[in-house]
A and B are shown apart, each in its own frame.
Chain A
């Protein structure tokens, strides 16, 4: 496919492209990761092209899921003028799922994404973060033992943004001085027309990608070997989720968990005398906070089909429960039932929002 080559670092190259799009009035805003200082990263909607020097789209940090943030912008009404969005592959898949859930609209968005090496946990964005980023950038993508790299990223096999309009092949090259934009769609071609860069023909490097995929799949199998049904059961669940505070931060951070009035926050799930008396009668004690495991399994039921395995939940957990890893494991088996891959195709319906007449006949008794 057509590609544009620039001898600049990825961040600067994206900056130049956005600047060009602003100058030509092709976009009215850019939605991109910004940096205030080494402890303060955030997603911003930029309309002033002079502020583009603050952007840092490839810094390995995810302060919040861009998919969720974009849905906040587009939930009530679609965007009226085109914007460019730079986001990671999992964030884009999350955005697609939110579109299917009618929480976002895809109109007027130019998606720019890149093959993703993973992100470093938010908890690491304190003093000394710069050195971590440097180590991260030097390391090849097959290296999974970087300090602070999210576990969900280490086991992620969907690091190629299949649906983006413009793709930057970053991790196969690991080149900080040259950047290539792969122009994937016609829409993108219209946008970049006239942009000064060397035009070449280039494809994604499939051999390198499958090498990284293989490495991550091996890691995944290793991690999942400890999350099998025989090791779980109620006892295993208490081992994992026992220290849960019931703060619901995982749900707040999750891009797919969108309900403003969550059942688990409602008065229905408050503990009344009926609930604790029934338990104290049989056990002589009642454990608080109540309903922690119920919350997690309940959330799995609600979101597992759309879970894109970004790992935001693990990142925000104040008591370091590997929420994301467990969810990814459950999500994989749930998605397997319906042969569904979240975020792959915008036309494909979420399995529980559709049905086939002749299926699962073993479940309902005739």
Chain B
């Protein structure tokens, strides 16, 4: 059985992905089980992508974008925030672990912060245990 959790990170090209890059260049620690997916804007993330990650075995999903007001496309991250608010509500209605989803604002200069947030999130997910969605029952 797998012991290390899987975390998927949707990082916005202009801020958070650059922050991840900076964290790497600065030789800061970033959890090894974080799989990053670069998107052009956090609003590119359809909530269905996140759901798909859950169903395919991700234990946690991080969506990261520019700080509100700093979006490269002016307003993209505000839309992203609304979409995630909707997703969280739907997950709550079904009682399927909205805590495994995190939205963070990380700007391009915040390599240190990227390292901290991802490590803290990885720790949190490890403590929370494997994602129950992954264990879709075959026989009850």
Contacts and interface: CB of A to CB of B under 8 A. Distances in A.
Contacts of B105: 364-366
A356 B136 CA distance: 37
B89 interface: yes
Given A232-B95, A297-B94, A365-B104, A302 B1 contact: no
Contacts of B89: 333-334, 337
A351 interface: yes
Indicate the size class of the contact surface on chain B.
35 or more
Contact of A365 (B77, B86, B87, B102): B102
B95 A233 contact: yes
A291 B69 CA distance: 37
Given A283-B138, A337-B85, A360-B81, A294 B95 contact: no
Of A229, A232, A234, A330, chain B has the most CB atoms within 10 Å of the CB of A234
Interface in A212-271: 229-230, 232-238, 263
A329 interface: yes
Interface string B115-139: 0010000000000000011111111
Given A229-B95, A232-B94, A287-B138, A360 B68 contact: no
B52 interface: yes
Interface residues of A, number: 46
B26 to A, nearest CB: 21
Interface in B36-71: 46-48, 51-52, 55-57, 67-69
B14 to A, nearest CB: 16
A305 interface: yes
Interface in A335-362: 337-338, 351-352, 355-357, 359-360
Main SS at interface, chain A:
helix
A285 interface: yes
B30 interface: no
Contacts of A236: 94
A304 interface: yes
A360 B105 CA distance: 13
Contacts of B73: none
B136 A301 contact: no
A301 B90 contact: yes
B95 A230 contact: yes
Q: Which 3 residue pairs of A and B lie closest in terms of their CB atoms, listed nearest first? A: A355-B78, A229-B95, A365-B104
